[in-house]
Amino acid sequence: MRIALLHAYDKQDKRSWSGTVYYTAQSLEKHCGEVFHIGPISCFKETLVGKVINKGSQAFLKKNFRYHYSFLMAHRYAKVAASRLAGQSLDVIVAPAGDTEIAFLQADLPIVLVGDSTYRLLFDYYPRDSNLLERSRYEMDVIQTLALNKASAAIYSSTWAARSAIEDYGTDPAKVHVVPFGPNLDDPPAPEVALARQPSPRCRLLFLAVEWARKGGDIAFETLLKLEELGIEAELIVCGCTPPNGVAHQRMKAIPFLKKNDEGQRRQLEQLLLESSFLLVPTRADCTPMVFCEANAFGLPVISTSTGGVPEVIRDGENGFLLPHEARGAAYAEVIARLHHDSGRYARLVRSSRAAFDDRLNWDAWGVTVKHILADLSGRRRPIEIASSI
């Protein structure tokens, strides 16, 4: 197949949408056909106007305007994309995080939308999508509706997101699919490396996140303190962000950020994943945390929160455990303490965590499933039963 990958990002930037655009392209190339990038798309003037509107709205109305997902940007994307698609011999358009890119697009090709959420799920869920100007909410909602109506198939990384497409936007369930993403990793460790993990006398917690507050850093810190109260020798490694002033402990170490594009820093990150006992991220809001797939690739169990699309990735007792949103450090410490004291159970959890990565949380699994969806759209074959039911 000849696939047009429509996105506004730099195709080589592994930071774009947490690496999803980059790995989507790699997986499509490997399993589905030849990929032609219809991006990046420059929107200098539109971005400048959007920033001015946002600043004015914040100053006078105390409201945010999400100009990246506005009619202004959507019309620009449609104009540029249509000109780049014209005259090319293509079979299908795949648009990762492409709601705004396809909303006003005129193209005589089937379009596949790939996402991890709908806009309506994000309203007042993520901090950046809260306290929005009513006009901003309206434009985002219209863009989402138009994109889903235009898409021949919508592939979401979680049932949480897929349900919203169906229930909140009236999308035909027959064209909505759930296919989990893989990790932001080029070279996952071999199974024997991941499964060599042994229980340690010291319980090392890894908090790997770029946002302290949204990812539940305060709860992770509470967990460390509670484990000490329970008589467990524990330490907390914070990687990706800096704890707020006043949050410090002799057994807490902060590593502000590690770049995966830097060989030395990438190896340091991999060592953290290999040497830790648990990935602890009590997230407050998340769609599909790819870092959880990365942890499982290293056989590292994940302790997190049952919120958003997280339950699609982490299943209790298989590759980690999820606690209710209201749970605090004491509850997290109790779960971790039980696993820490039961070496046999912990060893089984390590094995099943790696198995979850091998079976479903990898980009090969994503690519194979998407191949059948694309083939069905092109009329080359009938679809197989895919992913999870909604």
SS (H, E, C) 274-329: HHCCEEEECCCCCCCCHHHHHHHHCCCCEEEECCCCHHHHCCECCCEEEECCCCCH
pLDDT tier at 16, thresholds 50, 70, 90: low
By C-alpha distance, which of 161, 115, 178 is closest to 309?
Answer: 161
pLDDT tier at 381, thresholds 50, 70, 90: very low
CB 226 within 8 A of CB 328: no
Domain 2-182+362-378 shares a fold with domain 191-359:
yes
pLDDT tier at 19, thresholds 50, 70, 90: confident
The class that CATH gives domain 2-182+362-378 is alpha beta
CB 373 within 8 A of CB 177: yes
pLDDT value of position 15: 67
pLDDT at 235 over 80: yes
Q: Summarize the confidence of residues 269-286 as an average pLDDT.
A: 97
Q: Summarize the confidence of residues 269-291 as an average pLDDT.
A: 96
Least confident of 226-230, 231-235, 326-330, 376-380: 376-380
pLDDT value of position 119: 97
CB 162 within 8 A of CB 173: no
pLDDT tier at 126, thresholds 50, 70, 90: very high
pLDDT at 12 over 70: no
pLDDT tier at 109, thresholds 50, 70, 90: very high
Task: Kindly report the backbone phi and psi dihedral angles of residue 269, in degrees, each rounded to the nearest multiple of 5, phi listed first.
Answer: -65, -45
pLDDT tier at 194, thresholds 50, 70, 90: very high
Q: Summarize the confidence of residues 147-164 as an average pLDDT.
A: 98
Task: Kindly report the backbone phi and psi dihedral angles of residue 118, in degrees, each rounded to the nearest multiple of 5, phi listed first.
Answer: -105, 160
Cα of first residue to Cα of last residue in the chain, in angstroms, is 28
pLDDT value of position 382: 38
**3-class secondary-structure state, position 234:** strand
Q: How far is CA 344 from CA 139, 222, 246, 251, 350, in A?
A: 53, 26, 38, 26, 10
pLDDT at 169 over 60: yes
Q: Summarize the confidence of residues 234-244 as an average pLDDT.
A: 96
In the predicted model, what is the mean pLDDT of the chain? 94
pLDDT at 388 over 60: no
> Residues 174-179: contacts with CB within 8 Å, 24+ apart?
175/151, 176/390, 177/153, 177/369, 177/373, 177/386, 177/387, 178/312, 178/387, 178/388, 178/390, 179/155, 179/365, 179/366, 179/369, 179/370, 179/386, 179/387
pLDDT tier at 385, thresholds 50, 70, 90: very low
Here the tokens at position 271 are 């060592």
pLDDT tier at 222, thresholds 50, 70, 90: very high
Which CATH number does 191-359 carry? 3.40.50.2000
pLDDT at 383 over 90: no
* CA separation for the pair 168, 191 (Å, rounded): 41
Least confident of 11-20, 77-86, 89-98, 319-328: 11-20
Would you list the domain boundaries of the chain? 2-182+362-378, 191-359
Task: Calculate what percentage of the chain has a pLDDT beyond 70.
Answer: 95
Q: Summarize the confidence of residues 236-260 as an average pLDDT.
A: 94
pLDDT tier at 13, thresholds 50, 70, 90: low
pLDDT value of position 389: 39
**3-class secondary-structure state, position 146:** helix
pLDDT at 258 over 80: yes
pLDDT value of position 148: 98
pLDDT value of position 63: 98
> What burial class does residue 70 get, using C-beta atoms within 10 Å of its C-beta: 0-12 exposed, 13-18 middle, 19+ buried?
buried
pLDDT tens digit sequence for 310-336: 999 999 999 999 999 999 999 999 999
pLDDT at 224 over 70: yes
* CA separation for the pair 126, 284 (Å, rounded): 9
Q: Summarize the confidence of residues 99-126 as an average pLDDT.
A: 97
